[in-house]
Amino acid sequence: MSKSPGNMLIKGGTLITMDKARKVLKGDILVEDGRISKIGKVSASAGGKLILDAEGKAVLPGFIQTHVHLCQTLLRGMAEDMPLLEWLKKVIWPGEAAMDDRSLEASVELGLCEVIRSGTTTIQDMGTVNGQDVVFESLKRSNIRAFAGKAMMDMGRGVPRKLKETTRNSLQTSEALCKRWNGANNGLVRYAFAPRFVLSCSSRLLSEIGPIARENKARIHTHCSEQAPEVAAVKRNYGKDNVEVLAEFGLLGEDVGLAHCVHVSRKEIRLLAQTGTGVLHCPSANLKLGSGIAPVPEMDESGVRLSLGADGAPCNNNLNPFNEMRLASLIQKARLGPGAMPAVNALALATIRGAEVLGLEHETGSIEEGKSADLVVVDLGKAHNTGHDLYSSLVFASNRDDVTHVIVAGKPLLWQGELMTLDEDAIVKKAEQEKKRLTAEIDN
Ligand SMILES: [Zn+2]
């Protein structure tokens, strides 16, 4: 494992490229300096590099999860069977408020173990209000590709004191974090300003985020129209629908990602499409919190940019892209018939379309020469996932335990089933201790 960093030869895999032509071929991938330098037949001597034998396996672009909350992983199972606003006020916000740097680190690293194990190479993470440097340190250590930013909250009912910031403080802290972390770890770590949602942000905060984010060449990441009571509350406050409110504050555009968009009107869908705003679809979370089913095929038809994410551990309770791809397809089939959302479309949401939503389509999301070597190897030779169609084997029959290797920018994060950048045993042990400490803290 100590050959030249970023150089590797992946031999004999079935390459599911997810390029424009959706090419699938049998061949090798040469990785040099962290990039895919050649696809096809590569002689082993061209290496002198780390060799990955992918015979009998599928090699695909790493999964992209455009909406996760790593800071909530320690809260998994603490908030079952509740609607969104109650779920936030009774458990999630108090849980986030009770965390210190130790529990935050345990939570983030536990989440990172899971997302990497399940084949994720890029995430967009909504952080927490306090201690965001801890999140960035862990992201850097793991070597995952990530957009992240501290959650911004300067108003709202039922928000714990420790999470409520002044408008000025929220903006200043976010900008300082952005200056510190945007482009860190050789560009793998980037900043995304993260106003939590319209109801937890003042109109002044909402109106000032856009210019600051754009000046700093950062992205914007928020929640939008997840549940009907949220939509109604936004309408009471502003007399408009959520997406229209975001438009008014300059918070739509190709540099913006909105998680959920379950309850959106035709007019809002048109606005999303016209502005190139990304929708971050989280099917498991939408089902578990009883939010509803996002009109993904309708948004797709209108030209909206779409992607997938697992959201947080307390509303899923997995951080696993295989579940999201499978559900993204199945729930639309239930609504619109079996022809809706074929497997290849679900896989596109989790790969190249996710890259497009994050503005990373020239860097990652497909297997093409010149792109970063962000790759995943999946064993398709198991009893449960051998089949006649590669896409359906991957989307409907495979799961995270079938992932054998995960590579980001040529660096192995998972190698033959073993995490390489994170000490999983130590992390699980620490998380167990911190979980107990956190529960005691919340109960006080
Ligand atoms: Zn979320």
Peptide bond into 399 cis (omega under 30): no
Q: Tell how far the Cα of 288 is from the centroid of ligand 1, in angstroms.
A: 13
- Residues having C-beta closer than 5 Å to ion ligand 1: 259, 311
pTM of the model: 0.97
Q: Tell how far the Cα of 203 is from the centroid of ligand 1, in angstroms.
A: 21
b or e along 274-306 (b: 16 or more beta carbons within 10 Å of the residue's beta carbon)? ebbbbbbbbbbbbebbebbebbbbebbeeebbb
- Please list the residue range(s) of the chain that carry CATH number 3.20.20.140: 63-357
Q: Tell how far the Cα of 367 is from the centroid of ligand 1, in angstroms.
A: 29
pLDDT of residue 421: 98
The residue type at 124: Q
pLDDT of residue 440: 87
Q: CA 254 to CA 270: how far, in whole Å?
A: 14
Q: Tell how far the Cα of 372 is from the centroid of ligand 1, in angstroms.
A: 27
Q: Tell how far the Cα of 259 is from the centroid of ligand 1, in angstroms.
A: 6
- Please list the residue range(s) of the chain that carry CATH number 2.30.40.10: 8-61+369-419
pLDDT of residue 4: 59
DSSP single-letter state for residue 25? E
Q: Tell how far the Cα of 345 is from the centroid of ligand 1, in angstroms.
A: 23
Q: Tell how far the Cα of 197 is from the centroid of ligand 1, in angstroms.
A: 9
pLDDT averaged over consecutive 10-residue blocks of the chain (444 residues)?
71 97 97 96 77 96 98 94 91 93 97 98 97 98 98 93 96 98 98 97 98 98 97 97 98 98 98 98 97 98 98 96 98 98 98 98 98 98 95 98 98 97 98 92 77
Fold of 8-61+369-419: Urease, subunit C; domain 1 (2.30.40)
CATH code of the domain made up of 63-357: 3.20.20.140
Q: CA 10 to CA 246: how far, in whole Å?
A: 45
Detail the DSSP E strand segments found in 34-138. Answer: 35-40, 50-53, 57-61, 63-69, 120-126
pLDDT of residue 5: 62
Q: Tell how far the Cα of 332 is from the centroid of ligand 1, in angstroms.
A: 21
Q: Tell how far the Cα of 323 is from the centroid of ligand 1, in angstroms.
A: 16
Which residue has tokens 């210019």? 211
pLDDT of residue 67: 98
* 326 conformational bin, left if phi > 0, alpha if psi -120 to 50, beta if neither: alpha
Q: Tell how far the Cα of 222 is from the centroid of ligand 1, in angstroms.
A: 8
